[in-house]
Amino acid sequence: DLIVDDDRTSITVPALKQAILDNLFYVVGKRAEVATDMDHFMALAYTVRDRILARWLTTKGDYVKHHMRTVHYLSAEFLMGPHLANNILNLGLQEAVRQATSELDLDLDLLIKQESEPGLGNGGLGRLAACYLDSLATLGVPAMGYGIRYEYGMFHQTIRDGWQVELTDYWLRYGNPWEIRRPQADVEVAFGGHTQSWRDPFGEYKVQWIPGEVVKGIPYDTPILGYRSGVANTLRLWRSEATESFYFERFNSGDYEGAVGAKVFAENISKVLYPNDEEIRGKELRLQQQYFFTSCSLQDMIRRHQNAGHAIENFHELCVVQLNDTHPSIGVAELMRLLIDIHGLGWDKAWEITSHTFNYTNHTLLPEALERWPLPMFGSLLPRHLEIIYEINARFLSALRERFPNDEDRVARMSLIDEHGERYVRMAHLACVGSEHINGVARLHTELLKSDVLHDFYELWPEKFINVTNGVTPRRWLAVSNPEQTELMISKIGQDWIGDLDRVSQLERYAEDSAFRADWRNVQYAVKVRLTQYIANTTGIAVDPKSMFDAQVKRIHEYKRQHLNLLYILTQYQRLKKTPGLEIPARTFLFGGKAAPGYFIAKLIIKLITSVAEVINNDPEVNQQLKVVFLPDYNVTFGQLVYPAADLSEQISTAGKEASGTGNMKFAMNGALTIGTLDGANIEIREAVGHENFFLFGLTAAEVAAKKAAGYHPHQIYESNGELREVIDSIVSGQFSRGDRNLFRPLVDGLLNTDPYLLFADYQSYVDCQDQVGKAYSDQEGWSKMSIYNAARMGRFSSDRSIQEYCRNIWNITRFGVDAPQ
Ligand code: 26Q
């Protein structure tokens, strides 16, 4: 009964309604009477996708037509989170879609919740890539993301008997309405085998790689909309499949097992995301994944470059590649191979192109997280690349010897090959040698790269090093996730800040306005009630939305020190048990995060959190003042619920260990105050929001280094600090493990004997600081002021600012935007 012009592009409410019904019938294949919430979600998602497509195709056409220099962001992980709400916001359709769904008697928020999030990343690094895609599209930067379409993403976490249990994440179960498979743009990728060399009739030295296996990469494209920019860039994720020819050749020659084996090999490559962050074990499948997506992406870039009519010699003028950590750094050798072996260029020209194409972002300071591959494995999987790396290395080291004569120690330290004992290929060194720029992700991190982790490279090439402090997108992390605060902000300062976060500074003057502060508190309370209901539904724990919400959500890692947080909780617990009726403001401690499945101590930390939670939450003497909640399966979707609701953000890593952190930014933008160390981006956040609006504690990175050098004895601190001793003793006593004195021994012994992350050294400073936090929270007016100053001064931490810095200082991109209307 509805008549509309075009139900695939029109954005009027009647057209949207008709489109949802049409998509439900023709795409989902259901009648409204029997459709589930998931069916309605799909129908709505297709309706939104239809409205993206014109922008998407126009954007692509414009980039080609105007020969625009394009960024290619290569990342093994893209932790996108659900798309629907974000796409609706970016299209400017929030009101129209709400109206259309409500007229159809559909609950929009319920439909949004149906989307299963593509969890194709571990944590910070993958989520940063997603924020950067958002900003690239918003700013109209010609850009493409390249990665792997894992069939199984980050595992789902459940808690059984207090322990983490992993379940697989088959996120594609109900289909993915956002992606388009493009089989016509497939590429082939080779593995194994051997190389042959000869001199061609002109006397040129030529190499041919005779592979052992060949697989096919099929691209799946997802549009990435900018915020009201009219731009839709592309995220291109590769799926591995068997090549028909390889498969049938063996099959027809009677090698049935070989044929099936080849198919299994091929299909395995994009099967599953490795759930380890920052802990490397040399697994061959992981190297296969890295080479697979990097080779697919570079071949694709070359093909698109040539299809647009450009000569291969100009590749680096139109194509720039950003390496998201070392995971795609094999690309340096792969581009050399493609240019020399496939496109016939000489070494020097190929090196000129390659070394002007790549840039490398480092994300870690942990020495154990620097990627290295055992040489025999590397050589058998990628024999041609190993030859190329040897050649790059020979030329690099001879230049190095010229620059630093008689310094063979330096040569050994900087070589692309680690020759101490078992031999390894050092991927960070390959990335440094092959890149035009090398960047860290926060000011301190970049300084530590220069002075420590990559010091030799800094001495050789100081001009390559540059800092780009991370940022996060205010679209997803504020406008989508915190509609209550967003609405209040819009009522005072309009909405331009969503696309230009520097403008949130206009909020500053309201910090001194008591009526506004009351509104601010009411909004905060409403958001906390939302989270309270979620906690009750998922854990059965009743928390008080009037209590302080103190949140630590991030991967579980010793350097992030979730157990330091626990030491304070236990300190408060002991105090309350000793002094019943002690006046402390009520607090709810919220934890969320996954442990790598093979990381025993991290899993034990989860068990300790859940065990402490059980005792405290069930102790009537304290549970009006203390609650401890571990929320299972922390992911992007849950992050969107918790960042807005937190009063206090825990950023308590050992100084010098957290490269940047990005959760710290999401919390502060939403008005949480931070308790933190001088680590990563905390330092810059504290400068931005004002020292008086940030709870600082702990040793500095320099003090940490000095303490370790001087000989650190945690046992002495245990002996001299009464409160700490009681807390540790209570863990050992079995109070939280039903009398089992051994359960937490590995954790406690590690602290008493070595404590590599200096929890004991920072304990007293942390406890004192937390006590100050408690006092400050009792003064609600003062707290609200600090909260508003935090939100108002976080403009710098928009990923839009980070991307502008990448464009100016690294990518040399000056042309933005498309012809398309917004
Ligand atoms: C490597 C090889 C084999 C298997 C897994 C990995 C692997 C996977 C993921 C290694 C590292 C990661 C992820 C690292 C990461 O998330 N680092 C974080 O990056 C953020 C964005 O820059 C920073 O804010 C964090 O400080 C940093 O810890």
Q: Report the candidate in 648, 631, 627 with the shortest Cα–Cα distance to residue 639.
A: 631
Residues 570 and 716 in one domain: yes
pLDDT of residue 260: 85
Element (H, E) at 631: strand 626-631
Per residue in 756-810, pLDDT tens?
999 999 999 999 999 999 999 999 999 999 999 999 999 999 999 999 999 999 9
pLDDT of residue 1: 42
Distances (CA, A) of 257 to 189, 191, 216, 254: 21, 19, 20, 9
Task: Specify which residues 465 forms β-bridges with.
Answer: 438
Q: Is residue 635 part of a domain?
A: yes
Tell me: pLDDT of 389 over 50. yes
Per residue in 676-724, pLDDT tens?
999 999 999 999 999 999 999 999 999 999 999 999 999 999 999 999 9
pLDDT of residue 315: 98
Distances (CA, A) of 780 to 15, 329, 547, 684: 48, 50, 12, 26
Residue ranges around ligand 1 (CB below 6 Å): 122-125, 128, 274, 276-278, 280, 286, 327, 363-364, 369, 371, 441, 470, 658-662, 680
Residues 419 and 482 in one domain: no
pLDDT of residue 821: 43
**Average pLDDT for 482-511:** 98
Find the distance separating the first CA and the last CA of the chain, reported in whole Å: 31
* Helix and strand totals (H; E) in the chain: 33, 23
Q: Which atom of ligand 1 is nearest to the CA of 122?
A: 9
Sequence length of the chain is: 822
Q: How far apart (Å, rounded) are the C-alpha atoms in residues 168 and 154?
A: 8
Q: Which atom of ligand 1 is nearest to the CA of 126?
A: 16
Q: Is residue 103 part of a domain?
A: no
- The residues, any chain, with a CB within 8 Å of residue 304's CB and separated by 6 or more, are none
Question: Measured in angstroms, how far is the CA atom of residue 172 from the centroid of ligand 1?
Answer: 24
3-state SS class at 199:
strand
pLDDT of residue 204: 84
Nearest CA to ligand 1 atom 15: 125
Q: Is residue 20 part of a domain?
A: no
Q: Is residue 10 part of a domain?
A: no
**Among 277, 294, 803, residue to substitute to test ligand 1 (most atoms within 8 Å of Cβ):** 277
Active site members: 363, 554-555, 560, 662, 666
811, 359 Cβ separation under 8 angstroms: yes
Tell me: pLDDT of 291 over 50. yes
Tell me: pLDDT of 822 over 80. no
Place of tokens 């401890």: 628
Per residue in 303-360, pLDDT tens?
999 999 999 999 999 999 999 999 999 999 999 999 999 999 999 999 999 999 999 9
pLDDT of residue 5: 62
Q: Is residue 817 part of a domain?
A: no
Q: Which atom of ligand 1 is nearest to the CA of 121?
A: 9
Residues 693 and 628 in one domain: yes
Question: Measured in angstroms, how far is the CA atom of residue 433 from the centroid of ligand 1?
Answer: 21
Residues 203 and 279 in one domain: yes
Q: How far apart (Å, rounded) are the C-alpha atoms in residues 4 and 421?
A: 73
Q: How far apart (Å, rounded) are the C-alpha atoms in residues 547 and 589?
A: 10
Place of tokens 């930390």: 605
Q: Which atom of ligand 1 is nearest to the CA of 445?
A: 26
**Average pLDDT for 362-370:** 89
pLDDT of residue 580: 84
**Among 125, 281, 467, residue to substitute to test ligand 1 (most atoms within 8 Å of Cβ):** 125
Question: Measured in angstroms, how far is the CA atom of residue 685 from the centroid of ligand 1?
Answer: 21
DSSP result, 484-510? HHHHHHHHHH-SGGGT-GGGGGGGGGG
Nearest CA to ligand 1 atom 13: 277
Is the dihedral angle over the CA atoms 347, 353, 356, 357 positive or is it negative? Answer: negative
Q: Which atom of ligand 1 is nearest to the CA of 283?
A: 3
Residues 478 and 603 in one domain: yes
Bigger pLDDT: 739 vs 248: 739
Per residue in 164-201, pLDDT tens?
999 999 999 999 999 999 999 999 999 999 999 989 88
What is the number of domains present in the chain? Answer: 2
3-state SS class at 252:
helix
Domain span at 268: 67-81+117-468
Question: Measured in angstroms, how far is the CA atom of residue 124 from the centroid of ligand 1?
Answer: 6
Q: Which atom of ligand 1 is nearest to the CA of 369?
A: 10
Question: Measured in angstroms, how far is the CA atom of residue 121 from the centroid of ligand 1?
Answer: 9
Distances (CA, A) of 490 to 345, 477, 487, 683: 56, 16, 5, 29
Nearest CA to ligand 1 atom 1: 280
Question: Measured in angstroms, how far is the CA atom of residue 77 from the centroid of ligand 1?
Answer: 9
Residues 443 and 505 in one domain: no
Q: Is residue 586 part of a domain?
A: yes
Question: Measured in angstroms, how far is the CA atom of residue 558 from the centroid of ligand 1?
Answer: 15
Report yes or no for ipTM above 0.85.
yes
Per residue in 238-265, pLDDT tens?
999 999 877 777 777 888 888 888 899 9
**Average pLDDT for 119-136:** 98
How many angstroms from the chain centroid is the CA of residue 333? 26
Q: Is residue 18 part of a domain?
A: no
Q: Report the candidate in 803, 696, 140 with the shortest Cα–Cα distance to residue 470.
A: 803
Q: Predicted confidence band at 818 (pLDDT cuts at 50, 70, 90)?
A: low
Residues 697 and 726 in one domain: yes
Q: Predicted confidence band at 408 (pLDDT cuts at 50, 70, 90)?
A: very high
Helices (H), 82-231: 84-91, 94-103, 108-114, 124-139
In CATH, what number is assigned to the domain containing residue 592?
3.40.50.2000
Tell me: pLDDT of 3 over 90. no
57, 815 Cβ separation under 8 angstroms: no
Tell me: pLDDT of 820 over 60. no
How many angstroms from the chain centroid is the CA of residue 335? 26
Nearest CA to ligand 1 atom 8: 277
Nearest CA to ligand 1 atom 19: 125
Tell me: pLDDT of 117 over 70. yes
Q: Is residue 390 part of a domain?
A: yes
pLDDT of residue 253: 82
Helices (H), 308-360: 315-318, 331-337, 347-355
649, 591 Cβ separation under 8 angstroms: no
660, 681 Cβ separation under 8 angstroms: yes
Residues 183 and 251 in one domain: yes
3-state SS class at 813:
coil
Share of the chain above pLDDT 90, in %: 92
**Among 74, 148, 278, residue to substitute to test ligand 1 (most atoms within 8 Å of Cβ):** 278
Nearest CA to ligand 1 atom 2: 280
Residues 633 and 532 in one domain: yes
Question: Measured in angstroms, how far is the CA atom of residue 294 from the centroid of ligand 1?
Answer: 18
Residues 453 and 568 in one domain: no
Strand ranges (DSSP E) for 528-586? 548-553
pLDDT of residue 23: 97
**Among 325, 425, 594, residue to substitute to test ligand 1 (most atoms within 8 Å of Cβ):** 325
Q: How far apart (Å, rounded) are the C-alpha atoms in residues 149 and 163?
A: 30
Task: Specify which residues 696 forms β-bridges with.
Answer: 676
- 281 phi-psi bin (left φ>0, alpha ψ -120 to 50, beta other): beta
789, 508 Cβ separation under 8 angstroms: yes
Average pLDDT value over all residues in the chain: 96
Residues 700 and 766 in one domain: yes
Q: Which atom of ligand 1 is nearest to the CA of 276?
A: 5
Residues 417 and 481 in one domain: no
Question: Measured in angstroms, how far is the CA atom of residue 372 from the centroid of ligand 1?
Answer: 15
Q: Report the candidate in 411, 415, 408 with the shortest Cα–Cα distance to residue 433.
A: 415
